[in-house]
Amino acid sequence: MLTCDICGKEVLLLEEMKTHLLLSHLENAIKCPLCSLSGESYDELCFHISSAHPEEQLTVQGPTDIISSSGGTETGRTDRELSQTSQSCSAEDSCDTAGGGSNRDPGVISDSRQLELNSTPESRCLSLGRTELITLGPETRTETINYHKEDNDWFESGHNKPKEKRLFSPRKDKLFSCPMCALVCNSCFILQEHVELHLEEQHSVEGNCSAYRMYSSGERRLECPICSVIYNDSFSLQEHVELHLDHQAASGSATVGSLGSDLKLATQLQQEEEQQWRHEAAQQEREDFKKLQMQFGLDGKGGYRRQMERTMEKAVARGHMGAAEFHHRKAEMMESLASGVDDGRTRTMGVTRVLYEYYQTESRDVAHVWLSADTDHYSSSAGDKGWGCGYRNLQMLISCLLRVDMYLPYLQERVVPSIPQLQRMIEEAWRAGLDPQGASHFNQKLQGTRAWIGATEIYSLLISLGISAHIIDFHRPTGPRDTHPQLFDWVKQYYCDPSRSSRLPPSVIQTSLPPLYLQHEGHSRSIVGLEQKKNGSLCLLVLDPGSSSSDTSKLLNRDTISRAIRHVRKFSGSLKHKQYQVVSVQGVLTAEEKQRSIFSSGTLRAERIP
């Protein structure tokens, strides 16, 4: 027979005793010791006490009684109360139990019920069934007592601290002792959890031990940055660090040779890299220079004659020219080169005369027209295509000068020279001392090259012939949208003769003035006249050497002149290059003026407008 230690009921089997304890004394007979709440489970009642009576729990100094309906007493403690109880009890507790003398046996934890764990393993309280164990420290002994109805008071008379309360467990299972404290339990799983708490606490203590060692004594601790040794003063730490440095200096002397070799290798690699970079830069510069020479015809691949021969050879190879025609035209070219006179294959005569007749009859919206003296048009040929525009404009200018009596005595041959002959004449001007900077630019040589010429070379040739010339530089736009209205105004002043006494000049005037050489980047043209509309707008009449002879010849036909003249008119919106240069012929020079012009060409300067 088994007898209940609480109510004295006798049962036959152990399972019936567990059922009795669960139904009669655990779930149905628990009552809150601080209010009238009852009939709740143990976990619910613990939650009720911790939430509804927090202030009362803080003031309680001992275990709280939970009164059962049967008159017995059951202990219900929170974690905070158990911790306070463990802290108040000493290792040698002299308090007696409610039933008489103490019976100090090792505490046993049964596996019927487990209470919550306190903050430290030493003060943990585990309660299973009706048996409770409280461990108060590694040296604290435990005792078990039987509960009786009259044990309602947990305090002895005359004592202010609570008595130790221990419940007896009838089970005799295998016991497990904690290797780190005096706790003994009968479940290996509970012991494992208990030991893990010990280990967690130990790790947290070790994590803070360095800071504790540093500041617990209140002294200043300095750590070596090399080996982490702690010193109390800075002087000791300084001496210690200097020892480290001296040792490193002594050991580093053995590696001086290796450091020197590394420095030598790095210097060698840097020099090789710089040499490679200079080589690549020089090669790129040579390639750019070759492209520039090719662009301006200074690549040494021949001039007018060689280009003409290659062009005719390609025409024969493609079947566009027969062998007989090839030899005939080559013979004419050789004769022209020998005589220095242009063969006239690209010349179109009488252009300005045709323009004068056109404006006489077709001047509906035109107020005034000024034209140069009679000028022939010269277009580029197969021998100078791509680079001969400057020479062709010079031929146009000379064709006009040959028709003006003032300039005729200064033109020795009284013919229009060929392009190779013009190159020879410019070289002679350089040798006379004209434009030394331009001569050095072309390396004193134009013959046999495809070099481009510009305003300065035209000026040098005219001065060498004794003809007065001026260069006017329109170096920047002077109107909206990059236009040059001052260029048009200057051309109007050039053609208008202020000495004319007539108040109403005729609408079309052909002057005795030579055409103007107009140069801009990459190309040049000739201005042969100026047209002024009735609304005051100005329009230049320009002959372009890039136009073929067949296109220019359309100006000579009355049926096609209306369409062909569109290519001659150039309004302000058509000239939008950043810079323009104009070469104008303004009379002849005396011998003294020619010498002064040659001397001043050492620092050749143009008249800048604006």
Token pair recorded at residue 470: 């001026």
In the three-class reduction of DSSP (H, G, I as helix; E, B as strand; rest coil), residue 195 is classed as helix
- 128 or 208: whose pLDDT is higher? 208
pLDDT at residue number 59:
45
Q: Output 90 or 288, whichever has higher pLDDT.
A: 288
Helix (H) or strand (E) holding 264: helix 256-295
252 pLDDT higher than 60? no
Peptide bond into 515 cis (omega under 30): no
| Half-sphere exposure (Cβ direction) of 479: Cα atoms closer than 13 Å | 15
* Model confidence band, residue 181 (pLDDT cutoffs 50, 70, 90): confident
Q: Is 523 a catalytic residue?
A: yes
Q: Taking residues 172-195, what's their average pLDDT?
A: 76
C-alpha span between 145 and 164 (Å, rounded): 10
Torsion of CA 441, 445, 450, 451, to 10 degrees: 20
Q: Read off the pLDDT band of 83 (50, 70, 90).
A: very low
Residue 164 CA to residue 179 CA, distance in Å, equals 24
Closest CA to 368 of 526, 565, 512, 534: 534
pLDDT of residue 296: 65
> With the C-alpha atoms ordered 19, 21, 23, 27, is the resulting torsion angle positive or negative?
negative
pLDDT, greater one: 535 or 28: 535
At residue 355 the predicted structure's pLDDT band, cuts being 50, 70 and 90, is very high
Tell which residue, 76, 256, 254, 107, has the closest CA to residue 190. 107
The per-residue pLDDT of the chain, averaged, comes to: 76
Position 190 pLDDT exceeds 90: no
pLDDT of 275 strictly over 70: yes
- Percent residues over pLDDT 70 in the chain: 70
Task: Read off the pLDDT of each residue in 22-27 and give the average, rounded to a whole number.
Answer: 65
Bridge partners (DSSP) of residue 112 are none
Average pLDDT over residues 14-26: 75
Whether the pLDDT of residue 142 is over 90: the answer is no
CA–CA separation, 56 and 47 (whole Å):
14
CA pair distance 369, 354, nearest whole angstrom = 13
Could you tell me the residue ranges of all domains in the chain?
2-50+300-338, 346-498+505-608
Instruction: Tell which residue, 195, 190, 201, has the closest CA to residue 178.
Output: 195
What integer is the mean pLDDT of 512-537? 95
Q: Which of 431, 465, 401 is nearest to 594 (CA)?
A: 465
Confidence of residue 295 (pLDDT cuts 50, 70, 90): low
SS3 labels along 404-449: CCCCHHHCCCCCCECHHHHHHHHHHHHHCCCCHHHHHHCCCCCCCC
pLDDT band at 108 (very low <50, low <70, confident <90, very high): very low
Give me the pLDDT at residue 259, please.
61
Contact indicator for 353, 429 with CB cutoff of 8 Å:
no
Q: Is 389 a catalytic residue?
A: yes
* pLDDT confidence bin for 364, thresholds 50/70/90: confident
Residues facing residue 160 across a β-bridge? none
Judged against a pLDDT cut of 80, whether residue 299 lies above it is answered with no
Report the CATH number of the 346-498+505-608 domain: 3.90.70.130
Of 389, 400, 484, 539, the active-site residue reads 389
| CA proximity to 528, closest of 386, 346, 433, 393 | 393
- Report residue 540 as tokens: 């230049």
What are 345's two structure tokens? 């294959």
Given pLDDT bands bounded at 50, 70 and 90, which one contains residue 397?
A: very high
Q: What is the mean pLDDT of residues 554-562?
A: 92
pLDDT at residue 272 in the model: 92
User: Bridge partners of 167?
Assistant: 145
Does residue 257 have a pLDDT over 70? no
Residue 124 has pLDDT above 60, yes or no: no
Residue 266's pLDDT band, with cuts at 50, 70 and 90, is confident
**Average pLDDT of 276-288?**
91
Q: Is the pLDDT reported for residue 100 higher than 80?
A: no
Specify whether 32 is catalytic: no
| The predicted structure's pLDDT at residue 196 | 81
Please give the pLDDT value at position 289.
Answer: 80
| Residues pairing with 223 in the sheet | 230
Separation of alpha carbons 209 and 211, rounded Å: 5
* Helix residue ranges per DSSP H, 510-580: 549-552, 561-564
User: 348, exposed or middle or buried, with CB in 10 Å at 0-12, 13-18, 19+?
Assistant: buried
Active-site hit among 198, 523, 567, 577: 523
Handedness of CA 577, 583, 586, 592 (dihedral sign): positive
CA gap 132, 401 in Å, rounded: 136
Q: Sign (positive/negative) of CA torsion 171, 177, 183, 185?
A: negative
Task: In whole angstroms, give the CA distance from residue 201 to residue 119.
Answer: 10
Q: What is the pLDDT of residues 481-514, one digit of tens each?
A: 999 999 999 999 999 876 554 556 788 999 999 9
Residue 123 CA to residue 22 CA, distance in Å, equals 26
Q: What is the mean pLDDT of residues 412-433?
A: 94
Average pLDDT over residues 454-477: 96
Residue 259: left (phi > 0), alpha (psi -120 to 50), or beta?
alpha
pTM above 0.75, yes or no: no
Mean pLDDT over 403-413 rounds to 90
Give the per-residue SS3 of 77-123: CCHHHHHHHHHHCCCCCCCCECCECCCCCCCCCCCCCCCCCCCCHHH
pLDDT above 50 for 123: no
**Residue of 391 and 602 predicted with greater confidence:** 391
Lowest-confidence pick of 56-65, 139-148, 241-250: 139-148
